[in-house]
Structure 1
Amino acid sequence: MLSRATARALSTTTQVNKNVAVLGAAGGIGQPLALLLKCNNSVTNVACFDVNPVTPGVAADLSHIDTKVITGFVGADSATMEEAVKGADVVLIPAGVPRKPGMTRDDLFNTNATIVAQLTAACAKAAPNAVVGIICNPVNSTVPIATEIYKQLGVDASRIYGVTTLDIVRANEFVSVLGSQDPNDVHVPVIGGHAGVTIIPVLSQVQPAGCIDSLNAEEISALTERIQNAGTEVVQAKAGGGSATLSMAYAAARFADSVIRAMNGEEVVECAYIKAENLPGVDVDYFSTPLLLGADGKVKENLGLGELNAFEQDLVSKACEQLAGEINKGVEFAANYKA
């Protein structure tokens, strides 16, 4: 059956089952994300929260699949938000307004910043030890907001991650096609942030090594730009009908699975956007790098940027210039928000 086959594919670790909450579960990302989590054998319970009144129906629909338990919560009040995340080991936040044609991630800021502040305050109060994966854009700003909200409430913010996994998934896929490789065998670290020029695919470190050595400098630049602008590619292809929802759901499910596997004792490395002060080669306080995840949900080791070529070093400089303003925007918003 599809559900069992998918569950096996997503994770083979079943030592310790985990509870996952999806905040924004009735949306374009949230519904397929909840479905993928429902099919993961390492997930005991998926709590689905959304302000959309169809949320109980989403939970009912998922509950007919013959895997683990599912629950649904609907409402905009803090008590319902807190109830939804209570007992969660992992919280994923795809809630927010999606991008539309001509809209930048920055255009989303005012609405989505408030949503993230409200939801992360609920997490800090009701699930302070849960890993929180921020999907709501603009991630470059919403992760600093979440971190500052935790600080306001006196809660350890070291389990907050910006989910940049989609950038890695896209890079792996695009490289696999150009390098005639099985995408399962391709690994491209993507560092920086999660918007435009802040997305830095480190193509010089691609595995298998040498698989795209046939590309010249112009082709490497074009591939880099395609990875950076892949979200816009989807928005335009959907012609006003939405943004990258299915691929983002897959990427978020992969991130959650990696976190759970690490909690269960596996050595797992994922790239994610975190508060990373004094990171060598970077002059901003938030940056995505490959991270060795720990069993406690925190970063066991930040593996840093690795060796970069001149082209990639220039990309880091440009990314930091943009990230500085986006990070500051999030910090300033949180400073004026009462959690």
Structure 2
Amino acid sequence: MVKAVVAGASGGIGQPLSLLLKADPNVTELALYDVVNTPGVAADLSHISSPATVTGYLPKDDGLKQALTGADVVVIPAGIPRKPGMTRDDLFKINAGIVQGLIEGIAQYAPKAYILIISNPVNSTVPIAAEVLKRANVFDPKRLFGVTTLDVVRAETFVASINGNKNPSETTIPVIGGHSGETIVPLFSQAKPPVNIPADKLDALVNRVQFGGDEVVKAKDGAGSATLSMAYAGYRFAQKVIKASKGEKGIVEPSYVYLPGVPGGESIAKTTQVDFFSVPVELGVDGVEKVIDVVSSANDHEKKLLEAAYTGLKDNISKGVEFVRNPPQK
């Protein structure tokens, strides 16, 4: 019995993510929550012949409480895209506020759930979630994840376009750091099986993984961002968390976690000088079983990339923490 919740289920990421979760045979109950359209999305998905029962909730009538009660996994793609005339700071305040409100609900109604945050900026929204959960005395770092799987998926796909691998997901590539721009660091030197990237293509490949989202925004010509690939990546990570929660062993995927609170994280935190960082995580029934130190094995080229990532992450993390500790004036 697994109850999965999608908070932000009516949006561009939320709908395809909900579809994938509905199709997962391990999900027995799927609860959808959003500020609009969720009953309709739920009704549509409920006609699919897979085991999960589907319900949709709006804020009225204690909808958030009903959606979250009994949840095992909560995936949060909620938020708004940046609109014309809106600064990044405006966008941050809105999405940070949305995430804070949802996490307050989780702290109250589903404190033991695995929490998977997709809402951008992940580098800041995960620290926001941690602060809210700490205040409520229910913070379990082993159960809080920032979903960075899209960076991994892109690295696998883009490498395959160079080396001709017919199935990109057969290559394991650790992508670490954060989940935006230069904070994203693909460790191609640690790919398994090893990949051969021509020296004259390496910088462009790294840049493409770091800024792959820009390709999609440009191709959609102002009509959106990476929603379908993000939904797939979000589902891929959620599926692994669910399988691990049911006892499957040896499941590893990078995720943005609170290093001081997870097994093996303290030494990485000392190296990186940041508390939140994406590293390969071995998943178990309680969430993070241990984190795997790939940082110390980075080559010289990757170490330079990591230095830039540390700088960016420090700012992003402090911005998230500050948002909760000193809320912006309305």
TM-score in same-fold range (> 0.5): yes
**Which position in structure 2 is the counterpart of 1:219?**
201
The residue identity in structure 2 corresponding to 1:122 is: G
SS of the residue corresponding to residue 28 of structure 2 reads strand
| Cα distance, 1:224–1:42 mapped onto 2, change above 3 Å | same
**Which position in structure 2 is the counterpart of 1:22?**
6
Indicate the RMSD between aligned Cα atoms, in angstroms.
Answer: 1.8
Q: Distance in 2 between matches of 1:103 and 1:36?
A: 32
**How much has 1:18 moved relative to structure 2?**
1.1
Aligned partner of 1:289 among 279, 291, 316: 279
SS of the residue corresponding to residue 31 of structure 2 reads strand
| Cα distance, 1:312–1:114 mapped onto 2, change above 3 Å | same
Q: Distance in 1 between matches of 2:103 and 2:215?
A: 30
Correspondence 1:201 to 2:186: yes
SS of the residue corresponding to residue 289 of structure 1 reads strand
| Cα distance, 1:168–1:102 mapped onto 2, change above 3 Å | farther
Q: Distance in 1 between matches of 2:224 and 2:319?
A: 26
TM-superposition CA deviations, 1:125-146 (whole Å, max 9, x none)? 1001100001000000000000
TM-superposition CA deviations, 1:3-43 (whole Å, max 9, x none)? xxxxxxxxxxxxxx411000000000000000000000001
**Which position in structure 1 is the counterpart of 2:289?**
300
Q: Distance in 2 between matches of 1:104 and 1:90?
A: 32
Q: Aligned ranges for residues 261-272 of structure 1 at < 5 Å?
A: 261-266=243-248, 267-272=250-255
**Which position in structure 2 is the counterpart of 1:71?**
55
The residue identity in structure 2 corresponding to 1:19 is: K
**How much has 1:99 moved relative to structure 2?**
4.1
**Which position in structure 2 is the counterpart of 1:248?**
230
**Which position in structure 2 is the counterpart of 1:187?**
172
Q: Distance in 2 between matches of 1:272 and 1:246?
A: 19
Aligned partner of 1:112 among 79, 85, 95: 95
Q: Distance in 1 between matches of 2:49 and 2:205?
A: 41
Aligned partner of 1:125 among 71, 96, 108: 108
**How much has 1:75 moved relative to structure 2?**
1.6
- The gaps in structure 1 that reach 5 residues or longer are 1-16
**Which position in structure 2 is the counterpart of 1:333?**
323
The residue identity in structure 2 corresponding to 1:300 is: E
**How much has 1:106 moved relative to structure 2?**
5.5
Q: Distance in 1 between matches of 2:179 and 2:129?
A: 16
Q: Distance in 1 between matches of 2:88 and 2:306?
A: 20
- The gaps in structure 2 that reach 5 residues or longer are 261-265
Contact 1:85 1:126 in 2 (8 A): yes
TM-score when scaled to structure 2? 0.92
Contact 2:172 2:193 in 1 (8 A): yes
**How much has 1:76 moved relative to structure 2?**
6.3
Correspondence 1:57 to 2:40: yes
Q: Distance in 2 between matches of 1:102 and 1:172?
A: 35
SS of the residue corresponding to residue 271 of structure 2 reads coil
